[in-house]
Structures are given as C-alpha cells and as structure tokens.
Amino acid sequence: TNSRIQCRLLQPRPSFGIAFDIDGVLLRGQHPIGGSTKALRRLYVDSTFSGTLKVPFLFLTNGGGTPESRRAIELSELLGVNVLPSQVVQGHSSFKSLLNRFENELIIATGKGQPDLVMSEYGFKKVFSIGEYASFFENIDPVSQYKSWTSKQAFDSNCDPHGSMRRQSVLSERVKAAFVVSDPVDWGRDIQVLCDVLRSGGLPGHQNGNLNQVPLYFAADDLEYQGAFPFKRLGIGAFKIALESIFERIHHIPLEYVCYGKPNPLVFKNVEAVFRQILLSHCDDHFVNKGDIEVNGFKTLYMIGDNPVVDIKGAREAGRPWFSILTRTGVFKGKENHVEFPADLVVNTVEEAVDYIFASEH
C-alpha cells in the first residue's frame, strides 16, 4: 500500500469530467456516429462497460420526450455501455426546479414521446398532454377529423365514463402553466391550443379580461438540430418562432416565456453538481482524485457539442471550468472555427475529442 500511496502522490490524477451532446455528436437518429461507441468505452474501468467509471461523464442533450430512466436504457442499447439515469440531463430536466410552484396545479405539456409522463415522473401531480387536454374541448381543433392519429384518442377519452368526469373537472379549472417538453408533433393544434390557453387565463373559450399570460416554458430553444436526415431539421426553437409570431398577431402583446436547456448558463452551472454526484458514487478512486475535487472543484469540464450557438455558446458563457470542443459531425461542418462562438477546440469527431482529452489529462 505504501508504494501505491507514493505512486498516487507522485502522479496526481486529473480532476476533469466530460459532457456529451447526443444528436450530431454521438448519434444521428438511432445510429452511433464519429466513433462514439469506442470513445465512450474508454471511460469505463472494465471491459464489460457496466459499472465503475474512470472519468465522470454525462449526456447533456436538448432532446427529450422520454423520462431520464427510460432514456438511459435506450442510450445503453444504442451505445453499448451501461448508462445510468443520473448521467442523463435533458432539456426538460430543468423543469424539476418548478415543482414547488406547480406541483398540485393543472398544467399541460406537449412534444414528441410522452411529455405528460416526463412531467409526472418529476412529481407534477395534475399534468395533461395537450392532446388529451384538447380532446376535452369539442371543435377546439377544427381540422382534427383529418388527423387519423388524434381522432381516435379524442373518441376514446370522451366515451369512457371516468373520462367524462375528468373532462368536467378539467373544463372548469384554469391551466396554470404550459410546458413544451420536446419537439412538438402537431404544430397546428399546439399553436391553436396554446394561443387559447395562454391568453384566456388558462380557460380556453373564455375572455381573459386583464389577466396575465399563463406562464410558458420551453425545454430548449434549438432552431435546428442534426437528425438522421442529411440536412438540419427544425427544432423547438423553430416552433417557438411560429407560436410567438402568431400569438403576437392575434393578441397584440409580446409572448412571454422562459427557455431552459443549453445554451442557458444555468444549465451548465447546475450540471456541475450532477458531475460531483457521479464522481462520488460511480468513479474508481484509483483513476480520479475525489479529495482534490471535493476541495477545489473540477479543474476542467469538457463540453463536446456540434452546435456552436447552443453547445459552444453555453459552455463559453458558463466560463471556468468549462472547455468547449466542437465536432464536425452535426450542425457545424465548417473548415475553421465558428466565427461568432469559437470553440476552444475544433475536431472532426467525438472520438478525436476524447483522444485529445486523454492526451492532455494523462
């Protein structure tokens, strides 16, 4: 043991962590890219990639629509390493901080996947998906009969006797907040219903008087992102522009909202505590200097992203200990660095980013 202690003293272990963006860095759609599986395996102590980590790392994505516990299972299957729910930070993870304000209030949630399940797993007790909420209001979406995927849901909930009781109680209660949890699927319906809810004091079909706008929260503000299609796709930020523009034309007042997710610097600050928790519970003492990090904090936290205005801007604004690495596998494809939000380092792939980190830290 003496020689092991000496060895540790002579070779101070690095105190760093890595935050990986998902879309455009590790995956395109469902497919691993840029040597991501190989890069992630280097962060585990043993060759089953199932337990202890050499380096504290997490996924910091603006994507979502699935509870963190389930997203961890999906990522484990796609990337071939064991991902823990605590390593998954999604755009909507920040909504947890609003629990004490809206825990028992009627709220609505929209986006792909299961936005209502995401919110109820955070502890919100009275949450409806916009789809279910809209189905309580006859003709609120005048073109719903042309949408085969929504008409069935409306029919089912209105024919069920419990559904009708739920409907009555919901119709008379004000919606206290609206959440865009992930990329909206039915933009037309969502814009219509949100315009109704936000300006009516939370009771669609009622005049609002001079009530304040119902609070509106977005899980992210990405105008575009890199999916499986070769060209960038419209994200939550594009939906926000559409909603904002129509809301302001109809109501002649500015739309008020808060956007979480990257590049909000708060997200980068909050994730430092998540790194600390992963370090303490899942990292091997032999590879990381827990004591030093406890006292002095992380020396470096690397953000590996593909979107300069989201991932790099956020890491730059968060300041120390963040170090930003931009890959060319997603939104950014330039030869040189991005002009407005230059990264600390530009590489081709996530595998090159991890090579660089290991070379500088060991």
Catalog residues that contact Mg ion under the rule CB under 5 A.
21, 23-24, 306-307
- In 3D space, the residue among 172, 176, 213, 179 whose CA is nearest the CA of residue 102 turns out to be 176
> Which partner in Mg ion, ligand G3P, none is near 56 (CB below 5 to 8 A by kind)?
none
**Interaction of residue 150 with ligand G3P, rule CB under 6 A:** no
Segment near ligand G3P (CB under 6 A), from 22-30, 37-45, 124-132, 195-203?
22-30
| One residue of 56, 63, 184, 204 binding ligand G3P per CB under 6 A | 63
DSSP 86: G
CA pair distance 36, 31, nearest whole angstrom = 10
265: CB partners within 8 A, 6+ apart: 314, 317, 318
Beta-strand pair 31-32/27-28: antiparallel
- The answer to the question of residue 312 lying near ligand G3P (CB under 6 A) is no
- Which one of 101-109, 156-164, 220-228, 313-321 is the stretch in contact with ligand G3P (CB under 6 A)? 220-228
Near ligand G3P by CB under 6 A, which window of 41-49, 218-226, 289-297, 348-356?
218-226
Q: Which does 87 bind (CB under 5 to 8 A by kind): ligand G3P, Mg ion, none?
A: none
Cα angle 218, 135, 165 (rounded to 5 degrees) comes to: 110
Picked from ligand G3P, Mg ion, none, the partner binding residue 43 (CB below 5 to 8 A depending on kind) is none
Given 16, 225, 257, 268, the residue binding ligand G3P (CB under 6 A): 225
DSSP letters of 290-332? HHHHHHH--SEEEEEES-IIIIIHHHHHH-TTEEEEE-SSSS-
The single residue among 17, 19, 33, 61 that binds ligand G3P, judged by CB under 6 A, is 61
Binding mask 159-198 toward ligand G3P (x if CB under 6 A, else -) reads ------------------------x---------------
Per-residue DSSP letter, 123: T
CB 225 to Mg ion: min, Å: 6
How many residues belong to the site for ligand G3P (CB under 6 A)? 12
DSSP states of 4-48: HHHHHHHSPPP-EEEEE--BTTTEETTEE-TTHHHHHHTTBSSTT
Q: Does 217 bind ligand G3P (CB under 6 A)?
A: no
Strand, helix or coil at 189?
helix
235-248 residues labelled b (16+ CB within 10 A) or e (exposed) = bbbbbbeebbeebe
Asked if the bond preceding 308 is cis, omega within 30° of 0, the reply is no
* 131 is a site residue for ligand G3P (CB under 6 A): no
Check residue 132 for interaction with ligand G3P (CB under 6 A).
no
Give me the residues that bind ligand G3P (CB under 6 A), please.
Answer: 21-24, 61-63, 183, 220, 222, 225, 235
